Each structure stands twice: as C-alpha cells, then as structure tokens.
Structure 1
Amino acid sequence: MATILALDTSSGSAVALVRDGVTLASASSPDPRGHAERLTPLVAGVLEEASVGIGDLDAIAVGTGPAPFTGLRVGLVTAAMLARPRDLPVWGVPSLDAWAAGVAAHAPEGLSEVRIVTDARRKEVYTARYRLEPGSAGGIRLSEPHAVVRSAGLAATGEAVAGPGTDLYPQEFAAARVLAASFDVSQIALLAAARVERGEAVPTEPLYLRRPDIHGKPASAMAGGR
C-alpha cells in the first residue's frame, strides 16, 4: 500500500495523508504568511491522527505553486528535509493542477474546460486553463500554461472559472461562470501518484513566475562597498 504525505504552501498551509487513493487525515491553516510556524505542527497532527509514522511513508508530494517566494519555499524545503533522512522520493505537482483536479472531481455535467485563478497579490492573479478529461491523470490536462496576469486584464467572459481569485476580484469575473470550489491538498498526492504510475515527470522546481519582492538596499549597493 502506498502512503503519501502531501504538503502545499501556495496560499495557506495544507497537509494530507493519503493511502492508496484514500485520505486518512488532513489539516490546514488559512494564514497566508505563517507557513514556517504552522506547517510542521500540521504534519505532526495529521500523522498522529492517522497513527502513521514518518517511517511508514512511501513518498512525499508537494505543491510547486505558482505562489509567492517565501511561502512556497517553506513547503518545498520541509518536504526535502522530511524525505532526505529516509531517502523518500519527493514528487512535485503545480498547485493550480490540484485546484483543477478538485473541480474535475465534482464537475457539473457538460463542463469541458475550467480556468483556475488564485491570488498573486499586487492586483494580479495566477492562472491556467484546463481541459477536463476523465481518462487523463486526475481528470485534467493543461491547455494554457501557468501565468501571472493583471486581474483587470483577464478576459473571462462566459468561461468557467474557479479559485480564490474569483472572490478577490468579483467585478473582473462578473461575466464568467464562477464555480464553487475549495482546495483539496489530497489532490497533490493523487495527481503525483497517477503521474508517476504513467511515467510522467513530477519535478519539484518551484513556479514563482516572477522575481520575489526584495526590501532593503539595492543589490548594487550591497555588492559595491560600504
């Protein structure tokens, strides 16, 4: 039986333990800035609830964004630190893919495509469009690459959209077909396992999509002298 720990810090912090496609336990915190303090206790709580030890894991799956630099890095580093002493594989899945897979799992009849939008701050959203294909891994296939765009410049007239970006910018999505959806971190594990089984890549490179905000002295001043 494959037991997979799933982590995601693309927005808040979320953890799930999945065994053979069944979620044994899950927990999350909506705080978008407290990942370093919250993720490890969430992991410990989920493992305790399911009576599973770190040594019982077969793999760790982690969301790769897109997301702001700091929060996303916490999830990726935590996954690597948990895996390294036990030589566990770490599988990466874009977080927007997990959103789309959650929509696909409960899609209304006739829905063939959905755009996912999440918060990128600065009045921008991360977005990607997916075809819903029951025969593909997780029931989805990427049809438009991940991107970060101005919320006001995203034309979504008539198309199905889902994700927290629709709540943040309701005027921009007033002409869209907004679907009720919530993030299910278990989809990170389910998508990763399906892709590995199909021989597909599961890279852990983070999807930042833009340079991180840096506060303080300019790089030239820090490198140039005193």
Structure 2
Amino acid sequence: MLILAIDTSAIASAALLRSTRTDGAAEVLASFASTETNTHAEVLAPAIQGLLAEAGVAGAELDRIVVGVGPGPFTGLRVGIATARALGFAWNVPVEGAVSLDAIAWDVLAAGEAPAQGFTVAIDARRKELYWARYAADGSLDEGPHVSVPGHLPEGPVCGAGAGLYADRLAAAGAPAVERFRDRQPTAASLGASALEKLARGEDLLATTPLYLRESDAKVPAAMQGHTP
C-alpha cells in the first residue's frame, strides 16, 4: 500500500509511505516537516510536490491519502484537510483521517518506551491550554482528545510538546513530562505509519471532519450580526 500522509495540527508535515507487509510496517519513501507553526499554507503544497518528485511517484498511483484531523487550531487544520481533500479529488484517491496525537503515541511505541500504565500525549493549544489524549501501553486510544488547562490532565507520564511547555505545572499535578518526548510534535511520517498499522489490523480510519474542540477565535462583528446582504 502506498499512501501520502499530511498533518498540520502543529507544524506542517507530509510523507510518502509504503507498506508491503501484513503487519503494516512502513517504509518512509520521502518526508517533509517544517520548523514553524504558522507557515502551513506557504510550504505544504510545494513540499508535497517535492516529495512526489523525489520518490518518482505520481499522485494517481497512491492507494489513499491520510490526513491528521487534529486536534489543532482552525487555520492549520483547514490547510491540511483542504489540501488532502483537493488532492484526493484531483487524483481520484480516497482520503481518510486520523487523530494527530496518534503520531506521537506511535513514536513512543516505536521507541519501545511506552509506560506499562499508559501515557498521555499533549501539544500546545494556546490560551495556556493543551490538546491531549490518553493512550494505553499498546498505543490504543483510551480517552480524548480533549482541550484543558495543564492541571486537568490525568496523572501519569506525558509526552509531546505540551509536556515540555508546561513541565513544572504538569509535574505538580502528578503528570511528569517524559524527557525524550517533551518537545515532540505530530509528524506526517509517524501519523502515516500509525495509520498503516491500523489498516493492517482491519481497523477503520476516521472521516476528515476536523477536531477543533473549541470555537474559533474569529468572531462576526456585532454590527454585522443578523445582517442579510
């Protein structure tokens, strides 16, 4: 199976992956990940074009596109999901979604460092809050995703960039940051690898409906509310 994975829940990232094994183990053919959290619209499409050229793959050869549906901010998620849907339509390739936090959970499992009691994955949600989800030791999603202040996360180890951002507050709440993963952001390469393993197990992926978890910061001006052009 050949897939294009896209995630824009934090940084912008894309990857081409192939799996020929029954367990879904993936080979990353090419990948891209930005270092910024606010350049998604500018860098994503050129990056995908570059990945296809690097791997010598035409879009119509893909078996599916997998896109991270969040949680994440409105603008970032819209860029990734809209791009995935547009490419799927243009190439006549099915498009499916995956929880973006699954990418970090997959990283933890791939490193062989999943705590026996399970763990939480958290990334920055701004407004002094975190997007988070709780995972079992085998990487299956136990709870979430949610958005809340750091002190409301469940007790136990925390992985992801949110852990590093609020390490002291989390530790005080009994949710210590895992040092190796305290700065980790979701990436398309890990998201795609996680999705391929799920498909190999016969699990379904998600629709491409974004997981915003809260209302947009953008508001209709009071003067325009109720106004019909």
TM-score range, shorter chain: 0.7 to 0.9
Q: Report the 3-state secondary structure (helix = DSSP H, G, I; strand = E; otherwise coil) of the residue aligned with 2:136.
A: strand
Over the matched positions of the two proteins, sequence identity in percent amounts to: 38
Q: Which residue of the other structure, out of 92, 96, 121, is the alignment partner of 2:97?
A: 92
Q: Report the 3-state secondary structure (helix = DSSP H, G, I; strand = E; otherwise coil) of the residue aligned with 1:85.
A: helix
Alignment of 1:1-226 (within 5 A): 2-20=1-19, 21-108=26-113, 111-133=116-138, 140-151=139-150, 153-155=151-153, 157=155, 159-175=156-172, 176-179=175-178, 180-181=180-181, 182=184, 183-197=186-200, 198-215=202-219, 217-218=221-222, 221-224=224-227
Q: What is the identity, as a one-letter code, of the residue corresponding to 1:102?
A: D
TM-score by length of 2: 0.86
**Structure 2 residue ranges without an equivalent (≥5):** 20-25
Q: What is the identity, as a one-letter code, of the residue corresponding to 1:214?
A: A
- Distance in 1, matches of 2:10 and 2:141, equals 21
Cα distance change of structure 1 residues 54 and 87 upon mapping to structure 2, 3 Å threshold: same
Q: What is the identity, as a one-letter code, of the residue corresponding to 2:3?
A: I
Cα distance change of structure 1 residues 72 and 118 upon mapping to structure 2, 3 Å threshold: same
Q: What is the identity, as a one-letter code, of the residue corresponding to 2:204?
A: E
Greater relative contact order structure (CA < 8 Å, 6+ sep)? 2
Q: Is the 8 A contact 1:72 1:206 kept in 2?
A: yes
Shift of 1:55: 2.3
Cα distance change of structure 1 residues 185 and 127 upon mapping to structure 2, 3 Å threshold: same
Cα distance change of structure 1 residues 116 and 105 upon mapping to structure 2, 3 Å threshold: same
Instruction: Please identify which structure carries the higher strand content.
Output: 1
Cα distance change of structure 1 residues 82 and 114 upon mapping to structure 2, 3 Å threshold: same
Q: Report the 3-state secondary structure (helix = DSSP H, G, I; strand = E; otherwise coil) of the residue aligned with 1:15.
A: strand
- Distance in 1, matches of 2:16 and 2:68, equals 14
Q: Is the 8 A contact 2:115 2:137 kept in 1?
A: no
Q: Report the 3-state secondary structure (helix = DSSP H, G, I; strand = E; otherwise coil) of the residue aligned with 1:18.
A: strand
- Distance in 2, matches of 1:48 and 1:212, equals 36
Shift of 1:121: 0.4
- Distance in 1, matches of 2:211 and 2:88, equals 21
The one-character-per-residue Cα deviations of 1:22-72 (angstroms, maximum 9, x if unpaired) are 001111112211111111011112112212221221111100100011110
- Distance in 2, matches of 1:87 and 1:97, equals 26
- Distance in 1, matches of 2:114 and 2:99, equals 25
Shift of 1:166: 1.5
Q: What is the identity, as a one-letter code, of the residue corresponding to 1:154?
A: H
**Structure 1 residue ranges without an equivalent (≥5):** 134-139
- The total of aligned residue pairs comes to 216
Cα distance change of structure 1 residues 155 and 216 upon mapping to structure 2, 3 Å threshold: closer
